[in-house]
Amino acid sequence: MCGIVGYLGKGNAKEVVLNGLYKLEYRGYDSAGMSVFNKKNQRFDMYKDVGRVAHLDSLVQSIDHSPIAIGHTRWATHGKVNQANAHPHFSASERFVVVHNGVIENYRELKARYLNGHHWVSETDTEVIVQLIERFSDELSVEEAVKKTVSLLHGSYALLVLDQDNPERLIAAKHKSPLLIGKSDKGIIIASDLVALAKYSQVYSPLEDESIVVINQAEITLWNRDYVQQELTFQPMDFEDDLTELGEYPHYMLKEIMEQPLVMRKIVDRYFHDDHIVIDEAILEGIRQADRLYVLAAGTSMHAGYIGKRLFENLTEKPLEVHIASEFAYHPPVLSAQPFFILISQSGETADLRACLSHLKKHHYPSLTITNVKTSTLAREATYALELFAGPEIAVASTKAYTAQIAVLAVLAAKVAHRDAGLRESISELAAKMEQYLTQYESVAELVKRVLTKQNAFYIGRGTDYFVSLEAALKLKEISYIQAEGFAAGELKHGTIALIEEGTPVIALNSEPHVALNTRSNLEEVKSRGAMAVTIATEAVAQEGDDIVLPNVDPLLVPIMMVLPTQLIAYYAALERGHDIDKPRNLAKSVTVE
Ligand code: AGP
């Protein structure tokens, strides 16, 4: 988690770094800080505080034009959310300044071994990095001191280092946490994500693990893990910066919910040629040869994986298991003889998945990453990658990436099964019907007001509706802070029904005709015990009195339609409670720590 950005050039470093931090705020927003070169006193000044980038912005208003600065936006891992723990961190003499994204697992051992008796200003793991650099720089050049320091670190890091004695140099190092470098004729920018580089770079290059980079006004020097100097290869910047603008919407989440029909059309555009699906043959062959598929993912992406299970098992008759990434990484199950792994990740940076991928690579298993970020680590490091084409997703609560994941899984499963026919039309029709439903999005506000009056709620469903109910509950929890559970409708009576009281909201998702009546009976059971029952149904199974009726679409794609009202329910529940919808408490968009 955390976002870092640094700039050196002819532009105003404060502006560039601030802009980058605003773009990176999705990675953490507990505190924000910046160190910027002050031409008057010829030193790097420090500004940092608890709160958002907007607050930091107000603290640095009066800073003059400066050629060099680094900044950080924090998601706390070690140490409370307070000013002392906010980044950047100074070394003891204040010669060095460091920002860090990642976790140093052996920071206690390093303190004991190299820095015994040192007075620590913060509770962070990061502070050990800057103190070690200072300590080693007594005997070594600064580059060597950084190299020696990072060679001792266990864990993950993307870090930027400034030196008061050489204020025209920025040093960076990275392992496991993402770091990309961008360049224009005005200067050099380095940051955790392409979104922070786009505005100020004509070309960019993602850095490999264990690289060390020294940036001067004139040049960039890159060393690999063996400290051998490398050529940096840049690619043209093709990221459309304006896609991250909020536009007319009050929140990114609402914008992203409304963009979903567009995303479906983009997927059609990118994956179809006429009526045929176009996917790299090597991926298709890899899957066809496998005797079992394994989806590894976390959170919302894992919920998309469950829908993928249904899609693959129905279309290709290949068994598919879904595993929680953080569990699989350290407790892999007994695998089939010829497994094929599908890693689903919006960000492509989730640390739990990266741990899975190192395990897969060690055993030479084939892997496919399905991601929204084509430059991400998981996309680059897996055997194959497929893109979601959902466009940047800024709200922490994932919406359009989830529906894009399901659509891409459907496209992939259909192609593997040689069942392309008609899918293009089905997805296009789905897009039109999603659009039609979303015109009435505001009507959900009324339902939420009437129904979600308690601090707990249930979503229930059968088959794919059960899988969607898991996602619906997660969405409600993460932004409204209502304790919500997604439940297989038939399972409630085996214990959990004890939690139903007068007014407990129970929302049934009902789209599968062969179990529609069973789900209705389960809803009746909770209604008789006082539940505030709500039904969301497709036209195919709808009955009079159902609260939300959704248009019928191709059965393969129904979950994409079913999830829409649940996204809106979460949105309005959070809005009504006055929460920060796009940046819910305790969360970050990209979970880069295990
Ligand atoms: C969902 O709204 C969350 N943001 C979260 O569950 C997310 O899906 C999870 O952390 C996995 O992220 P990824 O898709 O980027 O790997």
Q: Which residues line ligand 1 (CB under 6 A)?
A: 298-301, 345-347, 350, 353, 396-398, 478, 590-591
Question: Omega before 88 cis (within 30°)?
Answer: yes
* d(CA 14, ligand 1 centre) in Å: 31
556 has a pLDDT exceeding 80: yes
Q: Sorting pLDDT into bands at 50, 70 and 90, what band is 38?
A: very high
Q: Percentage of residues in the chain with pLDDT exceeding 90?
A: 94
* d(CA 183, ligand 1 centre) in Å: 30
Strand order in the sheet with 3-9: 43-50, 31-38, 68-74, 3-9, 187-191, 180-183, 203-206, 235-236
Q: Which atom of ligand 1 is nearest to the CA of 399?
A: 2
Across 256-272, average pLDDT = 97
pLDDT in tens, 340-377: 999 999 999 999 999 999 999 999 999 999 999 998 99
2 tagged catalytic: yes
CATH superfamily of domain region 441-579: Glucose-6-phosphate isomerase like protein; domain 1 (3.40.50.10490)
Choice among 2, 255, 266, 356 that is catalytic: 2
Q: Sorting pLDDT into bands at 50, 70 and 90, what band is 429?
A: very high
* d(CA 327, ligand 1 centre) in Å: 16
- Backbone φ, ψ for residue 212 (5° rounding): -125, 135
d(CA 455, CA 45): 46
The protein residue with its alpha carbon nearest to ligand 1, atom 2, reads 397
Domain residue ranges of the chain, discontinuous segments joined by +: 3-243, 247-439, 441-579
Assign a CATH topology to domain 3-243.
Glutamine Phosphoribosylpyrophosphate, subunit 1, domain 1 (3.60.20)
* d(CA 390, ligand 1 centre) in Å: 14
> Residue 217: what pLDDT?
81
The protein residue with its alpha carbon nearest to ligand 1, atom 6, reads 299
pLDDT in tens, 478-523: 999 999 999 999 999 999 999 999 999 999 999 999 999 999 999 9
Choice among 255, 433, 583, 589 that is catalytic: 589
589 tagged catalytic: yes
Q: Which atom of ligand 1 is nearest to the CA of 300?
A: 8
Q: Which atom of ligand 1 is nearest to the CA of 353?
A: 16
> Residue 562: what pLDDT?
98
Across 389-413, average pLDDT = 97
Which of 124, 586, 102 lies closest to 351, judged by CA? 102
Phi-psi region of 262 (alpha: psi -120 to 50; beta: other; left: phi over 0): alpha
Domains 247-439 and 441-579 fall in the same CATH topology: yes
**Residue of 295, 301, 375, 376 to test ligand 1 pocket, by largest number of atoms within 8 Å of CB:** 301
Which of 60, 26, 34 lies closest to 160, judged by CA? 34
Largest CA distance in the chain: 80
82 has a pLDDT exceeding 90: yes
The protein residue with its alpha carbon nearest to ligand 1, atom 16, reads 345
Dump strand ranges (E) for 217-261: 220-223, 229-230, 235-236
* d(CA 23, ligand 1 centre) in Å: 18
383 has a pLDDT exceeding 80: yes
At the second CATH level, the architecture of 247-439 is 3-Layer(aba) Sandwich (3.40)
Q: Which atom of ligand 1 is nearest to the CA of 396?
A: 4
Joined together, the tokens standing for residue 480 give 């409204």
* d(CA 590, ligand 1 centre) in Å: 7
**Residue of 591, 592, 593 to test ligand 1 pocket, by largest number of atoms within 8 Å of CB:** 591
The protein residue with its alpha carbon nearest to ligand 1, atom 10, reads 299
* d(CA 401, ligand 1 centre) in Å: 9
Q: Which atom of ligand 1 is nearest to the CA of 589?
A: 4
Q: Which atom of ligand 1 is nearest to the CA of 587?
A: 4
